Structure 1
Amino acid sequence: MAAPAQFQPVARVNGTNRTLGSRQLAALLPDPAGTRPAYRHLAQSISALILDGRIALHVKLPAERELATALNISRATVTAVYDLLRENGYAHSRQGSGTWTALPEGRTPSGITRFLSPPDTAIDLARAAPGLPEQALVDALRRVAPRLVEHAHTPGYHPYGLPELRAAIAERFTQRGLATMPEQILVTSGAQHALTLVLGLLGSPGDRVLVENPSYPNALEAMRRSRLRTVSVPVTDTGWDIEIIESTLHQVVPQLAYLIPDFHNPTGCLMPDQERIRILDAAQRSGTWLVVDETLADLALDVPAPPPFASHATPGGVGQVITIGSMSKTHWGGLRIGWLRAPSRLVTELAGQRVATDMGGSVLDQLLALDLLDRAWELLPSRLEQMREQRAALAAALAEHIPKWSWRLPPGGLSLWVDLGEPIAAPLAERALDYGVRIEGGAHFATDPGLFEQRLRIPYTLPPDTLLEAVHRMATALADGLPASSAGGRPHWVA
């Protein structure tokens, strides 16, 4: 049986001092040997990590002597690194208390920029999120207006979610093969909100959580901010290595495991049933909570939609599975409607966790979600056919204009995980923006630094003509030459 994956060297903080250890920071940085000048290269790398969220804000950086030892460089070089970080706004010093990370004036963390709309002339391939047909939204608003008026006479707070929406989601699970009661459902403001609630209730700083590598960047960011220690297991073009997952669950005994088994983001893989059963058995033996992200489960393009992961569990194991879902990928992210399925007692505890920051979601959004779910039989087939056409258009455009790139056509989901053949994803994403295309390099999906620089996630959520134009622009950017890599980010330097 394979050995478990190593811990991810994330920028966590120790205790209440919010101090980043020298070995932790060194593990995130590239080897400075052979780079000239080394101090500038290291400063650029640290600034990119700050923008990308791998190094948190308002965290104390290691003492200069300690970092110099960890990197095997001179203290003078580290001094120059810190001076340049301070000069460009990525750090500041407190008298007698060291150097602390900061966000420069005018800069925005990449976790936010991924969701901001690009300039009108840019094609946005950074977000794998389809829009909702205008007429479908107009019709739904017309139907729910009278029901909204009825709710106007109530306080409008529903920390568990609207009862009728909870019932509809529970029935949806039951129809998919997992008997569910409304008491097992918590309606949330999206799948990310559901995950954050789970991490906050079941995870404590320093706890270990098993994650796939690559994985969904915003989920990884939520774990970093919860100060969890991630343990990564690989997902390749051919899927999961179940022996590694089983071994990791047995030897590491993580508190949580976060998985995307249905048309995995970003690889598009679909986990076979037998592998799901093995993971469920291994998690039951280790006592690990399985957090299963099923936001893409309905987007089955070439295969039947998979049943819920928890439906494969034995009666003793189903209570350890938390299933997360959302309408963002099947309908529209602007609804901000997600949910989780869990044991009813845990749902009650999570609802209590929720009210500290969010006393309940929008009644209007929940009524719209209920209406749209009731008409899924009408809306979803056309959405799937649209995705098939757009997937085919993207694949044809790539084959024609950039034939050196390779990929496996996923059986579902919203994107291709493209192999560029060389580690040029970061400079290509930087240059593509100059040509009016915003796209994320593979490193944004990595749990460990320096990985997937040869990959791009390219969504097929835009019209075929737009996808063709995007590929043409990227091909032009490649032909015109790429800049030197900036360690996965686009820090702005005034020096």
Structure 2
Amino acid sequence: MAEWQSTIAPPALARLLGAPDGARPAYRALAGQLRQLVAEGRLPVGTRLPAERELSAALALSRTTIAAAYQELRQSGFLHSRRGAGSWTALPAGCRPPADGLFPVPPDAAGQPVDLGAASPAAPQALLGEAAARAVEQLPAYALGHGHYPSGLPVLREAVARRFTARGLPTTPDQVLITSGAMSALGLVFHTLLRTGERAAVETPGYAHVPRALRTAGARLVAVPLQRERPTELPRWDLAGWRQVLRGAAPRLAYLVPDFQNPTGALIDEEQRRGLLAAARTADTLLVVDETMAELAWNVPAAELPRPLAALDRDTRVITVGSASKLAWGGLRIGWLRAAPALVRRLAAARLHHDHGTPVLEQLVCAQLLDDRLDELRELRLAELRAAAGALLPALRERLPQWRFAEPAGGMTLWLDTGGLSGGALARAGEHTGVRIAAGSLFGLDGAFEGYLRLPLTVPPQAAAATVERLAATAELALRDGGRTTGPAPAAF
């Protein structure tokens, strides 16, 4: 059985590689470009590369050059090949996966590492501790049974349903399915509802992990760029582009983040929500709406928040996904989805082929937080985000004025235009300066957004100035190493 998980077409790989850098010999330069793409995570490990003849035509290079580049990659451990199966990307023994948050950030000379790779907050220790203590008291009552709840604990489904209802989306517990995080919910939806070869539409830039999850489910991706005039304004949906894609490609589903979009922080207004919903209804496309950031309205009055997209849907065309990771803590691994009761039952049945449910204790902890401490928890998070943004954004404007950004409407992410500096080069330089950086290309398709990066708004205010100084030092190192962008520039950005 082949060890590759996906295939990249010659034109797509050519776009990722961008213009040749002119270095000689050409095969070594090409091998270096491919190695860099793998190391940055822009070319996933396990991707089957085009045959030598096909890539030769796409790059206008000799087949001998392609063969020599592939051979160099094999010798360095970045490529595996087998006769009849082709060649696929790999990592050498001892080489850590790209952008892997499981590995500690290497400290700088002062011993102070900075992790800017994950947009996830630390736990609210006092609130979490109290909720956990109450959950432990309740656990014995649940320990009398088998402990398997494929749809989730009733007490947590009720709490999530009440929260949806309070936000203007009337919901009953039988419309809620509890999962082990939002990505678990998304994976369940993708694998259950998509057939191999069906199209799925995604906004771009978008949440980094979704394209790979969709491809793993067998989907063919159709990207719809967000729209804005300049880097200092928040983007909107390109409704004309969406209508064209929905009408022409007829995707089975579309994945969207209308509330404080990751990575841009944009908030989509109700008029655009209605327009996209109408187009999806005409195209018979399901909308999978990610509300992971929806409670984090730190920069917009509550009275101005648009209603949840599903509240505008009269045809149950929207599947809503949420999570406790941003509001509470990612370590809880609690997510959920809201859909029609029949679909919830179908998804719960499909889930049994993968796992029998989310851990009971964590569900009890989350139920305690949502039922008893939600308002307090939200206000704590919003205050933290306002303070972090109030310190970080001015420091960036002062120390790195060539980096441009729009102030987010809410959420936990800041999208930065680096003025032509490669986000991948910044990430590599950060390995030497003790900074983990999420390069912009992680949030696009086919190498787009190389000249961007995403910062989390989780930097403590007292650390903002030092963090920006570390970023500036990282940028200087990246520039010395020739870290200008070479890949395709996104037209809408």
SS in 2 for 1:231: strand
The residue type equivalent to 1:311 in the other structure is A
Distance in structure 2 (CA, Å) of the matches to 1:198 and 1:239: 26
The residue type equivalent to 1:259 in the other structure is L
Kindly tell me: are residues 385 and 56 of structure 1, through their superposed partners in 2, closer, same or farther at Cα, counting changes over 3 Å?
A: closer
Offset at 1:85?
1.1
Range moving further from structure 2, 276-285 or 342-351: 342-351
**Cross-structure match for 1:325:** 322
Deviations 1:158-215 (A, max 9, x none): 0000011111111111111111111111100000011101110111222211111100
Offset at 1:353?
1.7
The residue type equivalent to 1:219 in the other structure is V
Kindly tell me: are residues 150 and 400 of structure 1, through their superposed partners in 2, closer, same or farther at Cα, counting changes over 3 Å?
A: same
Once the two structures are superposed, the pairs formed by residues 79-478 of structure 1 within 5 Å of their partners are: 79-95=67-83, 97-110=85-98, 113-119=100-106, 121-235=112-226, 236=228, 237-303=234-300, 304=302, 305-313=305-313, 315-316=314-315, 319-374=316-371, 375-449=373-447, 451-478=448-475
The residue type equivalent to 1:267 in the other structure is T
Kindly tell me: are residues 99 and 404 of structure 1, through their superposed partners in 2, closer, same or farther at Cα, counting changes over 3 Å?
A: closer
Distance in structure 1 (CA, Å) of the matches to 2:400 and 2:49: 42
What is the aligned-residue RMSD (CA, Å)?
2.4
Deviations 1:318-354 (A, max 9, x none): x111000001111100000000001111111111221
The residue type equivalent to 1:443 in the other structure is S
Kindly tell me: are residues 19 and 190 of structure 1, through their superposed partners in 2, closer, same or farther at Cα, counting changes over 3 Å?
A: closer
Offset at 1:37?
3.1
The residue type equivalent to 1:312 in the other structure is L
SS in 1 for 2:70: helix
Distance in structure 2 (CA, Å) of the matches to 1:204 and 1:51: 31
Structure 1 portions without partners, runs of 5+: 1-13, 490-495
SS in 1 for 2:406: coil
Distance in structure 1 (CA, Å) of the matches to 2:216 and 2:122: 29
Kindly tell me: are residues 57 and 119 of structure 1, through their superposed partners in 2, closer, same or farther at Cα, counting changes over 3 Å?
A: closer
The normalised TM-score by structure 2 is 0.90
Offset at 1:296?
0.3
Q: Percent identity?
A: 43
Distance in structure 1 (CA, Å) of the matches to 2:64 and 2:404: 45
Range moving further from structure 2, 252-261 or 395-404: 395-404
Offset at 1:95?
4.2
Distance in structure 1 (CA, Å) of the matches to 2:196 and 2:63: 31
1:77 aligns with 2:72: no
Range moving further from structure 2, 437-446 or 52-61: 52-61
Offset at 1:427?
1.7
Offset at 1:115?
4.5
SS in 2 for 1:384: helix
Kindly tell me: are residues 192 and 57 of structure 1, through their superposed partners in 2, closer, same or farther at Cα, counting changes over 3 Å?
A: same
Offset at 1:20?
4.8
- Match for residue 28 of structure 1 among 16, 21, 25: 16
Offset at 1:442?
1.0
The residue type equivalent to 2:360 in the other structure is V
Distance in structure 2 (CA, Å) of the matches to 1:295 and 1:206: 28
Offset at 1:441?
1.6
Distance in structure 2 (CA, Å) of the matches to 1:17 and 1:334: 28
SS in 1 for 2:325: coil
Kindly tell me: are residues 399 and 97 of structure 1, through their superposed partners in 2, closer, same or farther at Cα, counting changes over 3 Å?
A: closer
Offset at 1:298?
0.4
Offset at 1:25?
3.4
Deviations 1:198-254 (A, max 9, x none): 110111222211111100111122122223221111124332211211221112111
Offset at 1:479?
4.0
Distance in structure 2 (CA, Å) of the matches to 1:377 and 1:19: 47
Range moving further from structure 2, 145-154 or 220-229: 220-229
Offset at 1:136?
1.5
Distance in structure 1 (CA, Å) of the matches to 2:419 and 2:106: 30
The normalised TM-score by structure 1 is 0.89
Whether the 8 Å CA contact 2:235–2:264 is kept in 1: the answer is: no
SS in 1 for 2:224: strand
